[in-house]
């Protein structure tokens, strides 16, 4: 059987590894636009100079050779022709398959702010080639503007501060990393970044730019009227799934590729996994989806069980935070907060169930909290502070409706 995998990242590599394990003699080809396998999560280490490109190769230098997998690097798939059982590569032409797995992930998005899409020195950060361009731009530079203070924006700021570049970070919300952090949890990170020279412009919008005659952006202009000078600009304003090459293939997409519980698309012999399937935007889930797809391709019938999108751990300057479930409270939610010597914990309870948890400082006992949020475990009054709760406190069976709850 011939397996063709498009994409060589979290989902693609874990799928290739699993297929090889289950089918020692099958033919496996992995195609990617990337020149080399690398972890997106470690790009800031590359950017900041702590790790080389080789050191962020999470598969291992000899992965393809050792597993007898053909790797076609720096190749772009431009279309898929299910009637002919092949995908078409820009350089390779038709690549035949018996099973096709799409793991093309996503790319950064530059919003249509005047000058942003045209200027030569505006960058996104999604893959190694982006990090290489930013690294080159940073050479000899003194200052930059980063638009967006989510995890990717903070990763970039962290790395560039390490290189001694003055970073000015613009964020529409009133706190940094707003998807994961509330105001209390965001404040210590902001302080830590400010201590190394980073400046934040919160509740502000980038609205324009100054671009010189050579096509280089010299400043970002905020709606509030401020002018932020920059030798280069990084935009971290969200991503778009890589699905354009599927046009005309019959594979159903809306914003992402539509898959069922088995990671199958609507077209026979075509599966999809990872960020391109839109079930999640984090590395461990992409890898698990890749593995699940691989097992189904090899004839098992395994459902992707963890459709649980929101889980993040961050660590900047040694301060760790775990964020589980969407960090937004609605009218009627109960919000429990526990501030203590070694950290801060916040739980959001909606309709009697735990829907979000932030844990900063000491994040031990993570598995316990993950279970509670993932299962939407019922919560009953507890007079213990949040950070003292453990399995012993919640693993009670409520006979009235047959569910486990925290008492």
Asked if 169 and 199 count as a contact pair (C-beta separation under 8 A), the reply is yes
* Residue 327: CB minimum distance to ligand FAD, A: 16
Q: Write the binding mask 95 to 114 for ligand FAD: x where contact by CB under 6 A, - elsewhere.
A: --------xxxx--------
Asked if 88 and 79 count as a contact pair (C-beta separation under 8 A), the reply is yes
Q: Which residue has the tokens 């502070």?
A: 385
Q: Which of 196, 282, 336, 337 binds ligand FAD (CB under 6 A)?
A: 282
- 8 in contact with ligand FAD (CB under 6 A): yes
Nearest Cα to 394, choosing from 69, 386, 313, 164?
386
- 43 in contact with ligand FAD (CB under 6 A): yes
Q: How far from chain centre, in Å, is Cα 292?
A: 19
The span of 140-148, 182-190, 208-216, 282-290 binding ligand FAD (CB under 6 A) equals 282-290
Instruction: Give me the helices (H) in 196-328, please.
Output: 283-297
The nearer residue to ligand FAD, 93 or 332, going by C-beta atoms, is 93
Query: What angle do the packed helices 183-195 and 151-162 form, to 10 degrees?
Result: 20
- Total interface residues for ligand FAD by CB under 6 A: 35
The span of 149-157, 334-342, 354-362, 384-392 binding ligand FAD (CB under 6 A) equals 149-157
- 344 in contact with ligand FAD (CB under 6 A): no
- Report which residue's Cβ sits closest to ligand FAD: 105
> Distance between CA 127 and CA 130 in Å, rounded?
5
The span of 29-37, 132-140, 359-367, 397-405 binding ligand FAD (CB under 6 A) equals 29-37
> What's the Rg (C-alpha) of the chain?
23
- 7 in contact with ligand FAD (CB under 6 A): yes
Q: What token pair was written down for 200? A: 């934040």
Q: Which residue has the tokens 């702010």?
A: 113
Asked if 272 and 5 count as a contact pair (C-beta separation under 8 A), the reply is no
Which residues of this protein are in contact with ligand FAD, per CB under 6 A? Answer: 6-12, 31-34, 40-41, 43, 76-77, 103-106, 125-126, 151-152, 155, 242, 245, 274-276, 281-284, 286
């Amino acid at each position: 059987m011939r397996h063709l995998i498009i994409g060589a990242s979290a989902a693609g590599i874990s799928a290739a590894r699993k297929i090889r394990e289950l089918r020692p003699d099958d033919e496996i080809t992995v195609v990617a636009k990337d020149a080399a396998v690398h972890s997106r999560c470690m790009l800031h280490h590359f950017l900041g100079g702590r790790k080389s490109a080789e050191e962020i190769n999470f598969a291992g230098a000899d992965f393809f050779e050792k597993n007898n997998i053909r790797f076609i690097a720096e190749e772009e798939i431009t279309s898929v022709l299910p009637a002919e059982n092949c995908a078409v590569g820009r350089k390779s032409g038709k690549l035949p398959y018996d099973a096709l797995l799409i793991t093309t992930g996503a790319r950064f998005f530059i919003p249509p702010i005047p000058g942003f899409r045209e200027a030569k020195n505006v960058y996104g950060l999604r893959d190694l080639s982006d990090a290489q361009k930013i690294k080159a731009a940073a050479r000899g530079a003194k200052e930059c503007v980063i638009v967006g203070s989510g995890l990717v924006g903070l990763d970039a700021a962290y790395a560039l501060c390490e290189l001694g570049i003055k970073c000015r970070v613009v964020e529409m919300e009133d706190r940094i990393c707003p998807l994961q952090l509330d105001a209390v949890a965001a404040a210590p990170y902001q302080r830590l970044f400010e201590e190394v020279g980073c400046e934040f412009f919160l509740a502000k919008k980038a609205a324009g730019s100054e671009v010189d005659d050579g096509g280089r952006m010299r400043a970002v202009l905020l709606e509030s009227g401020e002018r932020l000078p920059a030798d280069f600009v990084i935009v971290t304003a969200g991503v778009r799934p890589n699905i354009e090459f599927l046009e005309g293939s019959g594979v159903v997409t809306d914003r992402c590729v539509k898959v069922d519980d088995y990671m199958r698309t609507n077209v026979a012999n075509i599966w999809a996994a990872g960020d391109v399937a839109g079930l999640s935007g984090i590395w461990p889930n992409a890898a698990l989806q890749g593995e699940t797809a691989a097992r189904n391709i090899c004839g098992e019938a395994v459902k992707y069980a963890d459709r649980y999108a929101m889980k993040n751990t961050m660590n900047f300057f040694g301060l760790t935070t775990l964020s589980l479930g969407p960090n937004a409270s609605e009218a009627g939610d109960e919000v429990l907060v526990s501030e203590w010597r070694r950290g801060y914990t916040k739980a959001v309870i909606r309709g009697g169930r735990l829907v979000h948890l932030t844990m900063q400082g000491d994040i031990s006992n993570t598995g316990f909290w993950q279970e509670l949020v993932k299962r939407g475990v019922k919560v009953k009054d507890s007079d213990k502070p949040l950070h003292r709760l453990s399995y012993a406190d919640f693993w009670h069976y409520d006979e009235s409706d047959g569910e486990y709850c925290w008492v």
